[in-house]
Structure 1
Amino acid sequence: MSARDLSVLVGVILIIVMLVIPLPPVLLSVFILINISLALMVILVAMNTTEALEFSIFPSLLLLLTLFRLGLNVSTTRSILANAEAGGVVSTFGTFVTGNSALVGFVIFSILVIIQFLVITKGAERVSEVAARFTLDAMPGKQMSIDADLNAGLISEQQAKQRREKIENEADFYGAMDGASKFVKGDAIAGIIIVLINILFGLIIGMTQKGMGFSEAIDTYMRLTVGDGLVSQIPALLISTATGITVTRVASEGNLGTDVTGQMLRYPKLLYIAGATIFMLGLTPVPILITTVIAGIMLFGGWYLSRTAEQQEVPHEDEGEEQESSEMQSPENVVNLISTDPIEFEFGYALIPIADASQGGDLLDRIVMIRRQLAIELGLVIPTVRIRDNIQLNPNEYRLKVKGNEVAKGELLLDHYLAMSPGVEDDAVEGIDTQEPAFGLPAKWITEETKEDAEMFGYTVVDPPSVVSTHITEVIKQHAHMLLGRQETKQLIDHLKESYPILVEEVTPEPLSVGEIQKVLSKLLRENISIKNLPIIFETLADFGKMTNDTELLAEYARQSLSTQITYQFLQENDSIKVITVSGKVEKTIAEHVQQTEHGSYLALDPESQQSIVQSVAQQVEQLSLQEETPIVLCSPAVRMYLKQLLDRFLPQVVVLSYNELEPTVEVQSVGVVNVA
C-alpha cells in the first residue's frame, strides 16, 4: 500500500477518533486550519477544471470533508462546553467578528448561515438533482448519436467506445453528486443546531457550574460559539460553492477564469455603456471621484479590448494567400482525396428520409444491427458503412460500393411496400412489377391500400427500409472476402492471441505470415464459410503450415477441420442433405489435368471438356432449383478445389463440398449425377 493510500485511511480513522476522544485546543486549531485549507483547494480545483469528469472524485471527497467538519464541530463543542475554550483559531475568529458586541457578532454569523443554507446549499442541491435527471434522460439520445457517427464513419470503434464510457461516467457522476449534495444540506442544518446548543447549554453551564454572571457567560460562550460557527461555516460555504460550480460547469476548452473573462469581455462596446452609466451616477449625490475613477477604468478597458480585437481580425493579405496556397499544396489534402471507404451506401435525394432520424428514418440503427449480425455469423468485424446522398443518382435509386467499386444497386419507392410472389401470380394484386434486389425474385411495389389483400393471397410484404437492409446484408456477405485485408487479419490474430497465445505463436510469423493467413481466411469467406471458429482454423494451420505454404491447399485442410460447422450450415429438413454427385469419370478427367507449379497448382482443362462439365452441372442444378432446393455438388477432396474454380466462372452460386467436409452421421441423398459423354 502506497503512502498516499495510507494517509487517506489514517485520515478517516482520525475523524472517527475526533468523535469520541477529547482533543487538546492546540490540535483543534491545527485541524481547523487543515479544514479551511482543504476547502480552499477544493474550490480552486473546481474553478480550474474544464469539465465535471475531471473532478470525478468530488462526490466521495465531499462526504469525507463533511464528516471531517462534523467531527471538528463535535470536538469544539465538547471543548467549549467543558472548558470554555476551543483553541486560538476559534477564539481569534470569534473576537474579530463580535468585537465589543456579542449580539452584533451573532447577527453577522446568522446572516452568513442564512446565505449558506438558503442560497448556496439549497441551490447546489437543486442543480445537482436537475443535472442528474437531465443527464440520465439524455443518455439514449447520446448513445444513438454515437452509433450514427460510427455508422457514418465519422469516428472509429475505439472513439465510440471512449464516448460511451464518458456518457456512463457522466451519469454516474451526476447521480453521485445528487446524493452527496444531500449531505451538504444536512451539514448546514447540523451547524445551525450545534450553534444553538453551544449558546443555550453554554449559558447554563457557565452560570450554574462555573459561577459566571449572565453578561460574562453570554460574552464568553457567544464569542466562542460564533468563532466555532465561522471556522466551520466558511469551509462549508466554500465546499457548497465548489459543488455549485462543478455541477453547473459546461464542458469547454478553458477553465472558469478563462471563460468568465473571455465571455464577459467579449463585447468591448458594452464597457462604454456601462462606464458612461457609472459616470452619470457621479452627477447625483454619489461621490463623483469614485464614479469617475471606475468609469475611466471601464472606458479604457473597452478601448483596449476593441483595438486588440481589430488587430486579431485583420489578417495580412499575403499571409492569407500563403496559408491558402500551403493548404492546397499539403500532402495530407492529396492523400484525403485518393482515399476510399471500405463500404459506401449512396442514395438519391428522394430516399433521404430513410437515413434521416429527424424524419423517422432508422437506417443507421439497422446498419448497426447488420454489423453485429454479420460479426456473429461470419466472425468478421465489418467496417463502418459510409452513408451519403448523391445527386447524380436518380431520386429513388441507391447503390452499394465496396472498396470504391459499385457492386449492387436498386430502387425504392418509399410510399409503397414490396410484395414478393409466393410462386403463383395473382392479377387481383395490382402494383408496379419489379425484382427483389437481394435475391432477384419477382415482386411488385404495392400501395398501403393493397397491402392487406396481398398478404391474404400469400405475398410476402416488406417495407422499403427492410428491403434495403436485406440487400445490404446479402451484398456484404457476398463480398466479405474483399473486406478482409491484412490489417483486419492482424486484428483478428491479436484478439485470438489474448486467449490462445501459444497457438498463435506456432502459426505466425513462422511458418505463415499475416498475408498468407489472410488469403486462407479470405478463401473461406469467399465460399460463405464463417471464420468465427478461428481456434480450429489455426489448429489446422499449425498442423499443416510446416508442410506447405500453398494457401489454396491450406484452405482445403481448414474446410475439412470445420466439417461439423459446414454440415450444419447446409443441413436441410429431416437431417439430410440433397446433393448432386460427381461421377468417377469426371473426377478422373479433372485430376489428370491438374498442373503443378512452384507457385501452386491449377486446372488445365481443354475448353470442350470444361463446357461439357459445366453444362452437366447446370442441367442438374436447374432440376434441383425447380424443387426449391439449394444446389450442392459433392465430390472427392482431391478435386473439390479445382471443380469450384471451374464452376465459379459460370455458376458462382453453386456450393461445392467434399466428402471429408460432411459428418459421417448425416444422411446424404443423391438427386443427380454430373457426367460427360
Structure 2
Amino acid sequence: MSTAILNPAPLAPAGILHRLRDYVLPIGAISVIFVMLIPLPAMALDLLLTLSMAASIIVFLSSIQIRRAVELSVFPTLLLLLTLFRLALNIASSRRILLHGSEGTGAARKVIEAFGQFVVGGNYIVGFVLFLALVAIQFLVVSHGAVRTAEVTARFTLDALPGKQMAIDADMNAGLIDEAEARRRRQSIAREAEFYGAMDGAARFNQRDSMATILITAINIIAGLLIGTLQQGVELGEAARTYTVLTVGDGLVTLVPSLLVSVAGGITLTRANSAGMLGTEIRQQLFARPATLYIASAVCAAMCLIPGLPGFTFLLVAAVLFLLGRRIAASPEPALISEISSNEKKKQDQAPSADLAGLLRLEELSLEIGFQLIPLVDEKQGGMLLNRVRALRRHLSAEMGFLVPPVHISDNLRLRPREYLVSLRGIEIARWQLEGTQMLAVSGDPQRRPLPGKETREPAFGVPAVWIASAIEEQAIAAGYSVVDSVTVITTHLGELIRRHAHELLGRAESKRLMDTLNDSHPKLLEELVPKLLTLGEVERVLEQLLRERVSIRDLGAILEALLEVAAVNKGLVALVEAARQALGRRLIAPLLDQDGQLPVLLLDPAIEEDILASFAPEGSQRFLPTNSVPTIPLVRRLADSLKHLIGASNSSALPVLLCPSPARYHVKRWLDPVMPRLAVVAAAEIPAEIRLKPAGTIR
C-alpha cells in the first residue's frame, strides 16, 4: 500500500502564504483593536508607524495611475481601515509618550523623535506652527473639497443612472450591442453609482480624522505637562520642551499619511474617465500649445526686471520654457503629444481582427431602411420607430413565451428611398415600399366606399388598402377604414413576420435558457424529463412545432408536464406535439374566439375524414408528404378550395378554424400550411368543454 496519502508532503512557505493571504485583512483589522488596548514596545510602534506611512504612499500613487475612478473601487473601505489604523497608532503613541516622556525625546523611539527633532529642527514652537498649518491645509482645503466633490458626484451619478440605463436598452433594442455587452454596461454603471455613493460617506472619515488629531495633540501636551511636573518631578521648562516635541512629532507622523490619503481621495473623485494616466494627460493637455509656453517664458523673463526678485532663477525658468516651446513647435507630433501606451498599441493591433470578426457576425433579425425613412428612426426629429420596435419586442416576447432577439436597424442606400427590407440571419424574408408621407387606409370589406388614392395591399396580411392623404384621414375612418401611419405599417409587418418565423428564432441556446429559468420553480419536473426521457433537442423540436403553429410556449411548465406523461409511452414528434397542444387547450383556443366568446369552426364531411386518415402512415413512423408536392395532391387541393370558399362566405368576426379528428390534425395542418398558413387547425380534444362551437360550414 502506498503511504503517499498518509504522509503528505509539507507545504512550501509560498504555499502557506498563498493559503493565508485571504486571512491577512481580517487578522489585521482585529489587531488594530489590540493596538488601542495593549501597550506596544517602542520597536513595534516604529514598525507600525512605518507601515502606515508606506500604505498611504501606495494609496496616493495608485490614485495617480488609475484611468477611471472605479478602478480603485476598494477606496471607500480602504479609507475607513486606514483611518482606524492611524487613530489606533495615535492612541498607542500617546500612551507611550505620556508613560515614558520623562525619559527624554528618545522615549518614543526613532520615528516620532525624528519628526520631532529633524523635521522641525527641535524647536517645538516651529513644530507646533507647522502642525497647525498642515491641519489647516488638510481640514479646510483638501478634506472639505473632497467631501463636497463626493456629495455632488454621487448626486449627479445617481440622477444620470436612469438615462444611462435607457440608453443601453435603446442600443440593445436597436441591435447596436448584444445582450452580453448590455449586461456588462449595466454592471459598470451600477458599480460606478455604488462607488460614488460609498465615497460620499467615506470622505467624511478623513475630515473628522483631522479634528481628532488636533484634539489628541492638545490632550497630550496638557496631560504631558501635568504628568511630567506633578508625577515625574520634571522641571516645567524641560517638560514643556520634551512633551511638546514628542507630541508634535507624533501629530506630524499621523497627519502626513492622513494628508496623503486625503489628496488621493480628491484625485480619485475628480478623475474623469480617460484612456491614459494622469501624468500622460497633463503633459498632453498643458504642453501641447507652443504659444502658451512662449507667453509664460516672456512673463518670467519680464519678472527679472522687478527689483529684489532673484533674476537668475526667473531667467533659468524662462529659458527652459522657451526651449520646450521650440521643441514642441518644431515637431508636428512630439513625444509629449503622441505618446501611446503599450496597452493602446495592443488595442490598435487587435482592432483589424475585431473588425473582421464583426463582419462575420449575423444578426438574428435586421431591418434596413431607405434614406428617406431615416427620420422615422431619429428621435431628435420625432421618429418613433425605435420605441415602437422596442415595445413590439416586449409584446411578442410575452405573447410567444421566449425572448425575441433584438432587431438591428440600419440604413441601406441600395434600397429605394422609402423602401424597407426585413432579414432573418442575413437572408431577406420581406420588403415593402411606403408612399411619401401618406397614410395607409386598410379595410377587409371589398364593399366599402372607395377612397381617392393609390390602391395596394397591406403587407402584413395582404388585405386591400389605399394610400391616402392625411387630409382625408377622418373621412376614411368615418367610412369604416383603419388608418395607420408609416411607423405602424412597418411595426405591424415586422410583428407578423416574427410570428411567422418564430420557430426559426428559437435555437438551442434559447431553449436551454428557458429550461434553466423553469428549473428555478420546477426542478423536479426538469429532473424527470430532461435528459432521462427526452433530450434537449427533442424538447426543442416540440417547442419549434408549437411556434410554427402559432401556439404560445409561455406556459412551459404545462407543456413539459404533458411531455412527461406521453414520452414514457411514445417519443414520436406527432404524439408529443398533440399532447402539448391538448395541455394548452384553453390558452390555445382563447385567441380564436369571436366577440361573443364562441368558436367559429369549419367541419369535415365524414367521407373527407376517411380519405384524410387513409392518406398518411401510422403515427409512429412520422412519415409526412413532401411540402413541395402538397399542392398537386387532389385531396389537399379540394380541401383548400372548399376552405377558401367557406371562409370568404363567413360573416364571423373571427377567422373560422378547421375542426378535424385528433389523429389527423397534425398532418392536415402540415398539408395546408403552404397554401393557407394562417388557418388554425384544431382537434376536438383541444377545445375546453365550456366553449360553445359555432358551425361556419362543412367541407364536402
TM-score (norm 2): 0.80
Within a 5 Å distance, the mapping from 1:454-469 to structure 2 comes to 465-469=487-491
Work out which of the residue numbers 48, 68, 88 in structure 2 matches 1:31.
Answer: 48
Work out which of the residue numbers 653, 661, 667 in structure 1 matches 2:691.
Answer: 667
Work out which of the residue numbers 559, 576, 579 in structure 1 matches 2:601.
Answer: 579
Within a 5 Å distance, the mapping from 1:261-660 to structure 2 comes to 261=283, 263-264=285-286, 286=310, 288=312, 291-292=315-316, 295=319, 299=323, 303=327, 309=333, 340-403=362-425, 404-409=427-432, 411=434, 438-439=460-461, 440=463, 442=465, 447=470, 465-486=487-508, 488-489=510-511, 491-492=513-514, 500=523, 503=526, 514=537, 517-538=539-560, 551=573, 554-571=576-593, 576-594=598-616, 600-602=623-625, 607-624=633-650, 626-660=651-685
Alpha-carbon distance in structure 2 between the residues aligned to 1:104 and 1:193: 19
Match of 2:193 in 1: 171
- Distance change in 2, residues 1:422/1:229 (3 Å): farther
Match of 1:317 in 2: none
Offset of residue 119 of structure 1? 2.1
Fraction of identical pairs, as percent: 37
Match of 2:119 in 1: 97
Q: Verify the 8 A CA contact 2:440 2:465 in the aligned structure 1.
A: no
Work out which of the residue numbers 224, 240, 245 in structure 1 matches 2:267.
Answer: 245
Deviations 1:342-382 (A, max 9, x none): 22222333432332233343433333332232222212322
> What letter matches 1:622 in structure 2?
G
3-state SS, counterpart of residue 382 of structure 1 = coil
- Distance change in 2, residues 1:279/1:573 (3 Å): same
Alpha-carbon distance in structure 1 between the residues aligned to 2:208 and 2:485: 58
2:97 is the counterpart of 1:58: no
Alpha-carbon distance in structure 2 between the residues aligned to 1:627 and 1:350: 40
- Distance change in 2, residues 1:81/1:485 (3 Å): closer
Offset of residue 591 of structure 1? 1.8
**Farther off after superposition, 613-622 or 223-232:** 613-622
Alpha-carbon distance in structure 2 between the residues aligned to 1:71 and 1:647: 84
- Distance change in 2, residues 1:430/1:60 (3 Å): farther
Alpha-carbon distance in structure 1 between the residues aligned to 2:191 and 2:480: 51
Offset of residue 272 of structure 1? 7.2
2:180 is the counterpart of 1:153: no
> What letter matches 1:666 in structure 2?
E
- Distance change in 2, residues 1:313/1:290 (3 Å): closer
Offset of residue 386 of structure 1? 1.1
- Distance change in 2, residues 1:36/1:425 (3 Å): farther
Q: Verify the 8 A CA contact 2:602 2:658 in the aligned structure 1.
A: yes
The alignment yields a C-alpha RMSD, in angstroms, of: 4.4
3-state SS, counterpart of residue 594 of structure 1 = coil
> What letter matches 2:505 in structure 1?
L
**Farther off after superposition, 226-235 or 116-125:** 116-125
Which structure 1 residue ranges, 5 or more long, are not aligned? 315-325
2:130 is the counterpart of 1:108: yes
Offset of residue 157 of structure 1? 0.6
Corresponding residue pairs, total: 658
> What letter matches 1:12 in structure 2?
A
Alpha-carbon distance in structure 2 between the residues aligned to 1:93 and 1:139: 47
Alpha-carbon distance in structure 1 between the residues aligned to 2:497 and 2:657: 21
Deviations 1:102-155 (A, max 9, x none): 222222222211221222212212222222122112212221221222123232
Which structure 2 residue ranges, 5 or more long, are not aligned? 1-17, 102-106, 339-348
- Distance change in 2, residues 1:231/1:493 (3 Å): same
Deviations 1:207-226 (A, max 9, x none): 45545444333322321221
Alpha-carbon distance in structure 1 between the residues aligned to 2:681 and 2:155: 59
TM-score (norm 1): 0.82
3-state SS, counterpart of residue 602 of structure 1 = coil
Q: Verify the 8 A CA contact 1:419 1:446 in the aligned structure 2.
A: no
3-state SS, counterpart of residue 383 of structure 1 = coil
Q: Verify the 8 A CA contact 2:32 2:84 in the aligned structure 1.
A: yes
> What letter matches 2:667 in structure 1?
Y
Alpha-carbon distance in structure 2 between the residues aligned to 1:26 and 1:386: 68
**Farther off after superposition, 580-589 or 591-600:** 591-600
